[in-house]
Amino acid sequence: MDLKNLSIKKVHEAMINGEFTSVDLVNEYKKVYEEKNGELNAYLEFFDDAIEQAKEADEKFKDGSAVLMTGIPVAIKDNILFKGHKAGAASKVLEGYTATYDADVIKKLREAGAVIIGRTNMDEFAMGASTENSAYGPTKNPHDTSRVPGGSSGGSVAAVASDMALVTLGSDTGGSIRQPSAFCGVVGLKPTYGSVSRSGLMAMGSSLDCIGPIGKSVSDVEAVFETIKGKDEMDSTSIPDDLYEKKNTKKPVIGVPTINYPKYKGDEQWDLASNENLEKAVKKFKDLGYDVKTIELPNIRYSVPAYYVVMPAEVSANLSRFDGVKYGLHKDGENLIDDYFKTRGEGLGAEVKRRVLVGTYVLSAGYADQYYYKAQAVRDQIRADYKKAFENVDVILTPTTAGPAFKIGEKINDPVAMYLEDIFTSPANMTGLPAMSVPSGAVSVNGKNLPLGVQLMASHQREDLLFKVGKEFLGEK
């Protein structure tokens, strides 16, 4: 089977015409998984019941109830619950935990007949930008195995990029779908906050988290998004499809912000390749007949610092539930409090502990005014910047990352360097706006072709504009 050039639409047509079945297709992905996963470590598990699910999907083709997603294999990030299957957010603290209910996205995918084939590697509890923070070893970039795939959804993205999956789900709190998508040359969407239910997603930063699709084309990502979105009564922050007003836009106007980002250790956190690549993308849009305007977003340079206050605050609250009593790992201490200390001490990794400590600190009496509330005020300013920008443009174009995939080990001992990976991506989470990374060129480094991406952002619930513009950019029909 030509997995490289497969799309959801092609699979659907082939299944309707009886060219192959869902069972055939799942077996094909399983074969690639067996060949490649040993080296890439994109999956933590290929589910035993995948073939069973595929058989059910094939029945739907026989009885005429199949829809576009029926029989489509989907791999999910290890922080999404699929009833009866292990889920661990790539953390030792959840060792042995089995999901007791389905995430809303799983319910919706299964209702449509999609086949959930496995769970993918990630940074522990989605904290990181390289997948090196997994308790189960790093995932490798399929384009150069000495490099990271990005993170935290590195497994989901590497699986798509190496044809171990057609489409996958990731989660994005500060860039975890888009940054790895750029590093691995695929399409990744962070939807509008609330448009996809968070029920059954292990919470990291509840005001920032979004589940979103990853695929090889904008159309595939769109098809998955259309299936998983929608108001869900189990998530009070989820929103109805028509919450935001949509203005009529014939030919979207593209805005490119002037970049004025902070330096770190005296250097610009900015790779020339990424800048050149952006210029090429601008030219391409102009050639496609788009009006491209320069815009100002003066406060986005404060997005990373504010994100790294708001997010850990929420992390410290959300992760208190992993106490050795309710879920997964339990370590016996002298008494109950000692049980907590031991379980969390042994079960949680260094980056997770760092964030719990920072989060507890910024929320504590006497410091909250100085850090937490100030960060929330900055967040309001960033929101206001975008609101103003979207009065004049429809889609905002930036690079997705400041450069191509970095080496495994290069940033792991420098948290701030790792945090700066979120320069372009974190504003979408701080504002709840939808954003999508699409592949755009590559740079050659030591004989390896490393992909780059550009990010498209639109106003709330305007994923339709991202799909339209993204398809034209990639020349998709």
| Candidate list 141, 168, 173, 437; residue touching ligand GLN; CB under 6 A | 173
Binding mask 421-450 for ligand GLN (x = CB under 6 A): xx----------------------------
Q: Identify which range of 121-129, 229-237, 244-252, 291-299 contacts ligand GLN by CB under 6 A.
A: 121-129
Of the residues 22, 130, 134, 152, only one is catalytic, namely 152
400 binds ligand GLN (CB under 6 A): no
Q: 130, 162, 176, 238: which is the annotated catalytic residue? A: 176
Query: Is position 128 an interface residue for ligand GLN (rule: CB under 6 A)?
Result: yes
> Which one of 21, 41, 53, 176 is in contact with ligand GLN (CB under 6 A)?
176
- For the chain, the straight-line distance linking the first and the last C-alpha, in angstroms and rounded, comes to 22
d(CA 183, CA 442) in angstroms, rounded, equals 9
Nearer Cβ to ligand GLN (322/473)? 322
SS3 44: strand
Least CB distance to ligand GLN at residue 12 (A): 31
Judge contact between 41 and 145, C-beta under 8 A.
no
Q: Is 172 in the site for ligand GLN (CB under 6 A)?
A: yes
Q: Which is nearer to ligand GLN, 255 or 404 (CB)?
A: 404
DSSP notation for 236-286: TT---TTSS-----SSPPEEEEPP-PPEETTEES--HHHHHHHHHHHHHHH
Contacts of 129 (CB under 8 A, 6+ apart): 123, 150, 151, 152, 175, 176, 179, 411, 418, 419, 421, 422
Binding mask 187-226 for ligand GLN (x = CB under 6 A): -----------------x----------------------
Report whether 58 contacts 71 (CB < 8 A): yes
State CA 52 to chain mean position distance: 28
Residues 6+ apart with CB under 8 A from 264: 416, 417, 420
CB of 204 to ligand GLN, least distance (A): 6
Q: Which residues neighbour 143 within 8 Å (Cβ) at sequence distance 6 or greater? A: 161, 184, 185, 405, 448, 449, 450, 451
Least CB distance to ligand GLN at residue 296 (A): 25
Whether the CA torsion 94, 104, 175, 404 is positive or negative: it is positive
Q: Which of these, 283, 278, 262, 359, lies nearest to 320 by C-alpha position?
A: 359
Q: Is-catalytic flag, 176? A: yes
Could you tell me which stretch among 167-175, 245-253, 408-416, 448-456 binds ligand GLN (CB under 6 A)?
A: 167-175
Of 136-144, 172-180, 282-290, 389-397, the window that binds ligand GLN (rule: CB under 6 A) is 172-180
Specify whether 7 is catalytic.
Answer: no
Binding residues for ligand GLN restricted to 299-358, rule: CB under 6 A? 311
**Binding of residue 152 to ligand GLN (CB under 6 A):** yes
Q: Please identify, using beta-carbon distances, which residue of 58 and 422 lies nearer to ligand GLN.
A: 422
At its nearest, how many Å lie between ligand GLN and the CB of residue 77? Answer: 10
d(CA 319, CA 396): 34
What element of type H or E holds 68? Answer: none
Q: At what angle do helices 104-111 and 218-228 cross, to 10 degrees?
A: 110
Supply the residues annotated as catalytic.
Answer: 77, 152, 176
Task: Enumerate binding residues for ligand GLN (CB under 6 A).
Answer: 126-129, 152, 172-176, 204, 311, 421-422
